[in-house]
Amino acid sequence: MHLRRAGAGPWRGSGWLGPPIVDARPGRFTEATVTAVQDDAVVLITGAARRVGARIARELHAAGARIAVHCRQSMDEATALCDALNAVRPDSAAPFRADLLHVDALPDMVARCVDRFGRLDGLVNNASSFFATPVGAIDTAAWDDLIGSNVKAPLFLAQAAAPALADSRGAIVNIVDIHAERPLRGYPVYSIAKAGLYGLTRSLAIELAPHIRVNGVSPGAIVWPEDGQFPPDERDRIVEHSLMKRIGSPEDIAGAVRFLLFDAPYVTGQVLAVDGGRSVHL
């Protein structure tokens, strides 16, 4: 980052005060349009040790960002990913373990990230539980897990990260789901949770403007669950219903996240569907 801050920071107590950050370089964004650029930016990604989260980490790292790789249980994989990223660019990635359902611990994770890297420019709320909850078999444990990982944790993590993100004129990207708007049969609690995250994305865009942009990415079928929740015939039906006649890739999601973090300074409060056109005629 090469931003020059004029005067006091924008976050004070319960309100937003102080002049905006100004980039002194010719041709760069200024005033309220300033956003995190990828040169040395620091991005915290939840659920980043594996699958789509790991691909997002690699994409943003390739763009020049330093990466805080969050995990809950996959510490070995998180460490291996950081080792690979640090081999490309030394001291550019570090793992952070936390249970996102324990929201009281989230400010500490943000503080550790800022202590480690000196700043925070982006937050990607990627971690998510996903499993079926047919009506008649829903219990409070399933509710707490799905709502906690998909709505409660993103809210409280965004709240904890807001002061640091405001200082850097940063951005938040939430990984939503096309089923936030079109519920998936057999998955009512998951669909409710993602609908909540959709609403949270737009609400935070209002609450945190103009200092922090907040957007979302709504994936369609990207990577099939590892526990066989979708049998082959169901997978074929989903692919056939996509206008692109294929599932997406983690790279598709990572590219959208990179765009919203680094290349969309006038975009906030939006949720971008990356689903091969499937949601057009669900």
User: Do 11 and 189 form a contact (C-beta atoms < 8 A)?
Assistant: no
* Residue (of 225, 219, 227) closest to 251 by Cα position: 219
User: Do 278 and 245 form a contact (C-beta atoms < 8 A)?
Assistant: no
The separation between CA 274 and the C-alpha centre of its own chain, rounded to angstroms, equals 14
- Mapped onto helix, strand or coil, the DSSP state of residue 89 is coil
Tokens of 82: 């950081």
Q: In the annotation, is 198 catalytic?
A: no
- Mapped onto helix, strand or coil, the DSSP state of residue 17 is coil
Amino acid at 166: A
Residues 187, 190, 198, 266: which is the catalytic one? 190
Q: Which stretches within 63-105 are classed as H helix?
A: 75-88
Q: How far apart are CA 254 and CA 219, in angstroms?
A: 11
Q: How far apart are CA 174 and CA 19, in angstroms?
A: 27
User: Do 109 and 96 form a contact (C-beta atoms < 8 A)?
Assistant: yes
Residues tagged active-site = 190
